[in-house]
Amino acid sequence: MESSRLVSIIFFVYIVILSIGSINCKDNNNLITNQAALFVFGDSLFDAGNNNYIDTVSSFRSNMWPYGQTTFKVPTGRLSDGRLIPDFIAENAWLPLIPPNLQPSNGNNQFTYGVSFASAGAGALVESFGGMAINLGKQLNNFKDVEKRLRSELGDADTKRVFSRAVYLFHIGVNDYFYPFSANSSTFQSNSKEKFVDFVIGNTTSVIKTLYKMGGRKFGFLNVGPYECAPSSLIRDRTKIGSCFKPVTELIDMHNKKFPDVLRRLQRELSGFRYALHDYHSSLSERINNPSKYGFKEGKRACCGSGPLRGINTCGNRRGPSQGYELCENVTDYLFFDSSHLTEKAHRQIAELIWGGSPNVTGPYNLKALFEFRLT
C-alpha cells in the first residue's frame, strides 16, 4: 500500500514538473510550448473524459469506480483502470497529460501542448451511435474552435507554428463497423460492404485533409483492432461462447487493407505530409492469443464485468446495482479491463510499439521520429 502511494506521489510530481516545464512566457501574455503538441482524435481507446461533459448513455461513460483505480485512484473518464495510449505517448514526448477538450478548466496555454477530442462510441460516420458520442466531424469542429482561441491569443504566425509542429493521433472506425449489428444503419443496408468501408475511410480522409490545410503535417494512426474477439464479442453468440464475432471481421479486414493505400496516396499528394501507421490489429491479436508471452494470464477474459468471460458490460454498476459486477484481484494479469477496453498495462505496451516500433510494426515513421522531426 505504501509503495503504491509513493508511486502515485512521484507520478503527480512528474506531471506538475512537465506542466511547468512545457510552457514559456512570451510578451508577458502569451504562453507557447517548447515541445510539439499532441492533438488526439478518435473513440474510447483515446477518450480522456470528453464523454463526462456530454449527454450520453452510461455504457459510453466511465466516471465511476473502479475505472481509474490503478494510477489516478479516482475515475477520470478514461475507459480503463488507468492511463491510455495517448497518456504514455505524451510522457515519452515530455508533455503533460493530454486533457479532454471539453474540460472546463482548460486555458489557452493548455491547447498549445495539445488536447484530446476523442469520444467513447465515436465513429467516422454521423449515424454511428448518433447523438451518444462526438463523431469525428464534430471533433474536427471542436479543433476549429481551438484554432480560433489560439489565433486570438497567439496570433496567426505562432498558431501556425504550433499546428505545423504538432502530431495528430487517430483511432477511428471500429464503432462504425459494429453499429450496423446493434441498430439499423441505412448506410450499411443500402450499400455494399466495400462501399460502406469506403465511406468510413473517406470521412476520415476528409478530416485528415482539413487538418493538413490548417497546418498539420505529422499524423499518427492505428488501424482497426480485432475487437470482434474482445470479451463482449466472444459472448455475442451464446451458442458459441468464446468464438469471435465473425460478421464484423470482414469489414475490419477490408478497412485495414484499404487504409494504408490511402495514406500512401496522401503522402504522394500532400507536400510535407508524414505519418506513422501502427498495426494495432496484429499487436492486439498477438496478446489476445498469446497472453503469457506478454506478461498476461488472461487474454480473453475481462477483469471487470459479469457473465461468461466477464463480457457483459456491467463494470462499475453501469447497468444499475441490481445486476452487479465482478472485479479481478490483480488487474495486471489481464489484457482487457472491461468487456471491450484494455488495461493500463496493455496500453503501455501498445504505446511503446507506436512510439518506437520498427517499420514493420509502425511505419514508415514511428511517433518518436515524428516528434523529433522539425519543419524548417
Catalytic site positions: 44, 338, 341
Q: Tell me the sheet residues that pair with 278.
A: 222, 362
Q: How far apart are CA 52 and CA 43, in angstroms?
A: 14
User: Which position has the grid cell 496516396?
Assistant: 265
User: Please, are residues 361 and 284 in contact by the beta-carbon 8 Å criterion?
Assistant: no
Closest CA to 364 of 282, 287, 279: 279
362 phi and psi angles, rounded to 5 deg: -140, 115
> What SS3 class is residue 192?
coil
Q: Is the peptide bond before 364 cis (omega within 30 degrees of 0)?
A: yes
Q: How far apart are CA 78 and CA 101, in angstroms?
A: 13
Task: Using DSSP bridges, classify how beta strands 167-171 and 326-327 pair: parallel, antiparallel or unpaired.
Answer: unpaired
User: Please, are residues 225 and 178 in contact by the beta-carbon 8 Å criterion?
Assistant: no
Q: How far apart are CA 172 and CA 227, in angstroms?
A: 13
DSSP secondary structure string for all residues of 89-108: HHHHTT-----BTT-TT--H
User: Which position has the grid cell 493500463?
Assistant: 344
Task: Using DSSP bridges, classify how beta strands 23-26 and 30-33 pair: parallel, antiparallel or unpaired.
Answer: antiparallel
295 phi and psi angles, rounded to 5 deg: 90, 15
- State the Rg of the chain over Cα: 20
> What SS3 class is residue 215?
coil
User: Please, are residues 120 and 61 in contact by the beta-carbon 8 Å criterion?
Assistant: yes
